[in-house]
């Protein structure tokens, strides 16, 4: 009896130990991310998506924003807020993002609006913020910068103008003092409803917080932080320093605080956020944002994946879009790149809790594709009948199904019928099925790390199943994988970089891979040229239209094609050529215009060629630059596994 009791005690102790380990693990998962989330929304940064000239102290939401004003002989102009927007007319402010440290410790932006031209530099020192506003050349009319204060995100607090001319932001736990470091003028024509400084732009204007500082003191702080910013970039080598700065500047300026869910995350474009009620998240775009932040910002990379997955639909998929105004795509998703990106981020920052925090939702999304888009042995793009409270015209129709592909008007899909009852395009798409295989493989590796052997087996089985079907899409006559219609069994002879994704799925033999690359990638009638890769073959009748996916160069296509080439040892030359061509395209436009373009002209490599339609500051354009970081071994190698079992 005594021996049995002892055994029982041992069993109880063991079970309690297991329970405590599980509880500790759960607490670790819950405990890691809240601290990251808190860190990201603390301090001075450009959190306000509505205004690129706004600098906010968080979590209090205290804002210092810079407005511009000029007075001509019979009229005046006033710029209340500005963003990186499209348009070439005189009234549209032209913003050039010159620099932006991740943490807001240094920023530089050029503003050219009507007859006012300035460069704004900011820096932080401890909890203090400083800024200079430097006129570029002589201003045509008497001009002023208005340093306007306020409290945003509906935070509690008060702003007060003191008799000594300073401004105070008063909160329960802190008071923030703001001082003009240069001359101010009384100005009652601003329309500002909160305390402000009006400073003439006949010379440099400056402000500081925390303590009153002279202009030289402000400039010294800025210069020190500028050196720190460049020093960090130089760690990647002289050749990559400017590329690093371009990537991080585009990412940092499009990273915002989103108050509805109390989160910091990166977005494709501030302009698009404003149009969509505060934020716009897009299924594959935002996973690419996460990968770009992983270049050296672990916390933001983790946050960009975790927060994006928070916007999954009730049905269990990451929607094509999710917006601040409440609109969401309940009928369609976008290319399944979530597992691929999450695996790569884990390689860079191997913290197991990150996989634990994301795996189940990524697996749910992976399974959704088979439930909703599986047809005759493979997946098809689609849009099924679902709730549509915002009366989206793209819903359960051909347009919506093509939008799920992310290639909004690609000639590949023009003549393909849509089955409304099944909610799918009647097409076995090489790109979709190949990305899905890669997603299955990535999630299987994650499952092994997490000890989920049953799920790993399930995912590998699915990957093998779809991979075998992709092999049937090889066209011996054309020497490439082709999309095939499911209604008549015919190949669609429209050549796009997405056809190379079959290599990512390891569906090709080495000989087939080499044939594809030689006959299409290096062929100037298809994809080769001074600027690559066009989104449809140069021989296609639609190519000369360029916009939107009819020939223009899109960074995600180059990026995913590069990942595909990495799977084959006999394609090393193609890997390097694609990396170098992408880098030249990216760096050239950054040097010319400080553009991070949504897409680029296949004719002249610019982002403002009138033949294309391209937002000038759209974050995913930076994928063109990050390819070279992978190629130089500055990012994890995509072909390497995260699971020791698979090595």
Q: What is the pLDDT of residues 609-633, one digit of tens each?
A: 999 999 999 999 999 999 999 999 9
Contact 289, 266 (CB under 8 A): yes
Tokens at residue 190, please? Answer: 């601003």
Helices 338-348, 430-449: axis angle to 10 degrees equals 40
Dihedral sign, CA of 573, 574, 575, 579? positive
Give the mean pLDDT of 467-485. Answer: 98
pLDDT of residue 86: 55
Mean pLDDT, the chain, rounded, equals: 93
Give the mean pLDDT of 428-446. Answer: 98
Q: How many helical (H) and strand (E) elements, i.e. helices and strands, does the chain have?
A: 15, 27
d(CA 150, CA 143): 22
Residue 140 banded pLDDT, cuts 50, 70, 90? confident
Q: What is the pLDDT of residues 78-128, one digit of tens each?
A: 899 888 765 555 568 889 999 999 999 999 999 999 889 999 999 999 999
Task: Set out the domains of the chain in order of their start, with CATH numbers.
Answer: 54-234 (no CATH), 238-639 (1.50.10.10)
Mean pLDDT check: name the lowest of 28-32, 180-184, 454-458: 28-32
pLDDT of residue 71: 87
pLDDT of residue 138: 86
Burial of 241 (0-12, 13-18, 19+ CB in 10 A): middle
Contact 59, 579 (CB under 8 A): no
Q: What is the pLDDT of residues 509-522, one digit of tens each?
A: 999 999 999 999 99
pLDDT of residue 14: 37
pLDDT of residue 645: 53
Q: What is the chain's Cα-based Rg? A: 27
Task: State the DSSP code for 153.
Answer: T
Give every CB contact of residue 247 below 8 A, 6+ residues apart in sequence. Answer: 292, 295, 622, 625, 626
Helices 623-631, 283-293: axis angle to 10 degrees equals 50
pLDDT of residue 115: 87
Contact 484, 492 (CB under 8 A): yes
Give the mean pLDDT of 44-59. Answer: 97
Give the mean pLDDT of 469-493. Answer: 97
pLDDT of residue 27: 37
pLDDT of residue 72: 83
State the residue for tokens 């049905």. 315
Contact 134, 116 (CB under 8 A): no
Query: Is pLDDT above 70 for 54?
Result: yes
Strand partners, 149: 64
pLDDT of residue 81: 87
Q: What is the pLDDT of residues 521-531, one digit of tens each?
A: 999 999 999 99
Residue 437 banded pLDDT, cuts 50, 70, 90? very high
Residue 547 gets the label, from left (phi > 0), alpha (psi -120 to 50) or beta, of beta
CA distances (Å), 515 to each of 101, 177, 477, 512, in order? 44, 67, 12, 5
Q: Smallest Cα–Cα separation from 434: which of 555, 564, 321?
A: 564
Q: Which long-range contacts (CB under 8 A, 24 or more apart) does 153-160 make?
A: 153/61, 153/257, 153/259, 154/61, 154/259, 155/59, 155/60, 155/61, 155/62, 157/60, 157/61, 157/62, 159/62, 159/194, 159/195, 160/195
Give every CB contact of residue 630 below 8 A, 6+ residues apart in sequence. Answer: 562, 566, 579, 636, 637, 638
Residue ranges with strand state E in 473-560: 474-475, 480-481, 483-485, 491-492
If residue 367 lies in a helix (H) or strand (E), which one and from where to where? helix 352-373
| Helix, strand or coil, per DSSP, at residue 329 | coil
Task: State the DSSP code for 581.
Answer: H
Query: Is pLDDT above 60 for 537?
Result: yes
Determine what percent of the chain is predicted with pLDDT higher than 90: 87
Tokens at residue 362, please? Answer: 């990524």
């Amino acid at each position: 009896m005594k021996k049995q009791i002892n055994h029982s005690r041992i069993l109880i102790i063991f079970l309690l130990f297991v329970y405590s380990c599980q509880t500790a693990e759960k607490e670790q998962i819950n405990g890691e991310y809240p601290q990251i989330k808190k860190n990201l929304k603390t301090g001075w940064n450009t959190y306000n998506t509505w205004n690129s000239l706004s600098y906010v102290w968080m979590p209090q939401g205290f804002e210092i924003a810079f407005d511009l004003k000029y007075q001509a002989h019979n009229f005046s102009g006033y710029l209340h807020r500005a963003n990186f927007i499209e348009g070439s007319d005189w009234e549209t402010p032209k913003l050039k993002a010159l620099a932006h440290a991740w943490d807001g410790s240094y920023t530089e932006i050029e503003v050219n609006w009507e007859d006012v031209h300035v460069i704004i530099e900011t820096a932080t020192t401890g909890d203090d913020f400083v800024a200079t506003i430097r006129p570029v050349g002589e201003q045509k009319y008497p001009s002023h910068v208005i340093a306007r204060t306020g409290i945003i995100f509906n935070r509690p607090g008060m702003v007060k103008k003191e008799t000594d001319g300073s401004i105070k932001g008063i909160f329960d736990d802190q008071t923030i003092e703001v001082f003009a470091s240069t001359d101010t003028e009384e100005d009652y024509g601003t329309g500002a409803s909160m305390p402000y400084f009006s400073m003439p732009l006949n010379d440099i204007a400056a402000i500081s917080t925390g303590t009153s500082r002279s202009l030289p003191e402000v400039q010294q702080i800025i210069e020190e932080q500028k050196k720190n910013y460049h020093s960090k970039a130089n760690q990647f080598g002289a050749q990559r320093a400017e590329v690093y700065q371009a990537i991080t500047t585009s990412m940092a300026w499009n990273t915002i605080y989103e108050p509805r869910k109390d989160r910091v995350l990166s977005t494709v474009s501030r302009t698009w956020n404003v149009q969509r009620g505060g934020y716009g998240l897009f299924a594959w775009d935002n996973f690419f944002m996460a990968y770009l932040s992983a270049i050296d910002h672990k916390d933001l990379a983790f946050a960009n994946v975790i927060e994006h997955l928070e916007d999954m639909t009730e049905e269990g998929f990451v929607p094509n879009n999710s917006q601040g105004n409440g609109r969401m795509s309940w009928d369609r998703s976008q290319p399944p790149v979530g597992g691929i990106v999450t695996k790569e981020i884990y390689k860079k920052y191997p913290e197991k809790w990150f996989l634990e925090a994301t795996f189940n939702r990524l697996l749910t999304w992976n399974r959704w594709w088979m439930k909703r888009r599986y047809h005759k042995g493979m997946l098809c793009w689609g849009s099924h009948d679902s709730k549509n409270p915002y009366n989206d015209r793209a819903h359960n129709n051909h347009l919506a199904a093509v939008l799920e592909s992310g290639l909004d008007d690609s000639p590949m899909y023009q003549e393909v019928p849509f089955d409304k009852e099944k909610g799918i395009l009647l097409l076995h798409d090489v790109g979709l099925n190949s990305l899905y295989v890669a997603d299955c493989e990535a999630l299987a590796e994650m499952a092994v790390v997490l000890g989920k052997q049953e799920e790993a087996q399930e995912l590998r089985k699915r990957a093998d199943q779809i991979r075998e079907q992709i092999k049937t899409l090889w066209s011996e006559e054309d020497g490439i994988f082709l999309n095939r219609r499911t209604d008549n069994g015919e190949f669609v002879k429209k050549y796009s970089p997405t056809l190379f994704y079959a290599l990512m799925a390891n569906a090709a033999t080495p000989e087939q891979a080499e044939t594809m690359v030689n006959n299409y990638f290096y062929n100037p009638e298809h994809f080769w040229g001074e600027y690559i890769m066009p989104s449809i073959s140069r021989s296609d009748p639609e190519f000369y239209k360029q916009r939107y996916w009819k020939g223009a160069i899109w960074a995600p296509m180059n990026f995913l094609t590069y990942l595909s080439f990495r799977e084959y040892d006999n394609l090393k030359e193609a890997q390097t050529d694609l990396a170098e061509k992408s880098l030249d395209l990216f760096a050239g436009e950054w040097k010319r215009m400080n553009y991070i373009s949504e897409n680029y002209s296949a004719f002249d490599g610019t982002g403002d060629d009138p033949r294309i339609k391209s937002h000038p500051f759209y974050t995913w354009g930076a994928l063109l630059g990050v390819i070279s970081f992978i190629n130089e071994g500055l990012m994890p190698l995509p072909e390497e596994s995260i699971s020791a079992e698979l090595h």
